[in-house]
Structure 1
């Protein structure tokens, strides 16, 4: 990159427009030099917009850990999202190896148990095996979202409707958004994140049938967003803990759902968040960058 181009990027980094600052960070991240670290840190010190701060931190991490950025050049070439490649690689290796070893054995165990145990479907063994199958499904989903993909254009309303239909929640949902809005991202990752959030909202609202679950979506200058708003009992404990892999406050749950949703959105340079709804319930938010 020429010096005059970097001077222009420096100017854009301090623009009054968050969208322009975000665009500058992305452009700079495609051709980082060691001397850019001071420029990025200076911009981060005064940045107030959350998504721009995230992009700046990602760019700084690429400079501080160059061996990670170089470890998967094909992904870097095809996808300009800034992600922690070390995390993706570790996730692929660990989940891939475990699935390869466990899935065939689990299928054999279930088959033999069905033949050997009287009234198997009602037995405690069947419940334990079903729990293991749920765990394997979660691991498969984590494996899937650990592979970066090239973003595509798609109508967001179609994805939301598909998920609501699959969850059998049509009678519980009130939609509020532009049904013709087309967004850029990965529809499979988005659906995976949304379905996990919706599943929690449906379960939380099982005793609050008078209040529908509101699904709203839209776009701003710098991002797309989806919100799922329920009227259930609300958050139990810290929101951050609820999104930690293996942590849950719900009996019979393994604590994978929100972590999977978080990972899926991170693969699109996005994020999820949980906050209390007034007077009761939870607001599950999904946000990711616009191009």
Structure 2
């Protein structure tokens, strides 16, 4: 696709065609394209296409046209542009931190057991493990802020494979969605988001008293122009405002750094979607992943 073809396709009556063009421009737009992109954004009504156009505007930067009026500039940048700037900052800062700390943490993990007597079970071991977990969380966060690379996948398989990672959890998983169910996702970003949410659910049911029913139920489907996956656990639910638990650094567990759900949210936002957390009416937590669907025939 060329830039000219992309701009022509932005006028298409077909949502999928406009979305493909907007995604192309989000990766290839230049400074001279900014006014065209803003005009397309004003015409657009579909949220997912608008998000891709906002990303394209961010990439294009300020217009090189000196005649561009001040009124053309955003006085109050759209939320999506703010999110894109946040993702860029996360990628750059996280990359620097990982580069600087990886060798130090690796050396510390090797040296501490030799230098500290009766190392196992000590506070020093706990602190080293916490530092290692923090570094792993920052690596995941950097991955969550990377550019999405879409491909067609079977959502049923993706959900089951994500659960297979947690084989030690035993027979806690239940599945309720159709199979096969073809969707367009970035498999790596999606799995990063889903595994963090599943891990949270497993930890929630693990704290239940002996004899309690421990279930983690995954369901998936399509609502309007959105694909969705829900993860519902039979735990005690969120003690605080569920939405606040999706922010970085938020956790009800003292030994956790609070990166898991925040990383899941960042990964889905990079994939032009989002994550929503609530307490289920039946008890336990419900976390839902939602993103744009551009395949009318998802069940084959």
- Tell me the TM-score normalized by structure 2: 0.75
Q: Structure 1 residues 230 and 185, CA, compared in 2 at 3 Å: closer, same or farther?
A: same
CA offset at residue 144 of structure 1? 1.6
Q: Structure 1 residues 239 and 59, CA, compared in 2 at 3 Å: closer, same or farther?
A: farther
Q: Structure 1 residues 5 and 101, CA, compared in 2 at 3 Å: closer, same or farther?
A: closer
CA offset at residue 162 of structure 1? 2.2
Gaps of 5+ in 2: 65-79, 295-300
CA offset at residue 158 of structure 1? 2.4
Instruction: Note the aligned Cα RMSD (angstroms).
Output: 3.2
CA offset at residue 105 of structure 1? 0.8
Distance 1:22 1:252 in 2: 44
> Which residue in 1 is equivalent to 2:189?
189
Map of 1:106-185 to 2, 5 A cutoff?
106-168=105-167, 169-185=169-185
Out of 122-131 and 250-259, give the one that drifted further: 250-259
Q: Structure 1 residues 247 and 177, CA, compared in 2 at 3 Å: closer, same or farther?
A: same
Gaps of 5+ in 1: 13-19, 45-51, 71-81
Map of 1:1-291 to 2, 5 A cutoff?
12=13, 24=18, 27=21, 30=25, 34=35, 37=38, 40-41=41-42, 52-53=46-47, 55-56=49-50, 59-60=53-54, 62-63=56-57, 66-67=60-61, 84-168=83-167, 169-206=169-206, 207=208, 209-291=212-294
- Tell me the TM-score normalized by structure 1: 0.77
CA contact (8 A) 1:62 1:69 kept: no
| Matched residue SS, 1:237 | coil
Q: Structure 1 residues 126 and 181, CA, compared in 2 at 3 Å: closer, same or farther?
A: same
CA contact (8 A) 2:242 2:279 kept: no
| Matched residue SS, 2:171 | helix
> Which residue in 2 is equivalent to 1:15?
none
CA contact (8 A) 1:175 1:216 kept: yes
| Matched residue SS, 1:250 | coil
Q: Structure 1 residues 147 and 40, CA, compared in 2 at 3 Å: closer, same or farther?
A: closer
CA contact (8 A) 1:164 1:170 kept: no
CA contact (8 A) 1:218 1:225 kept: yes
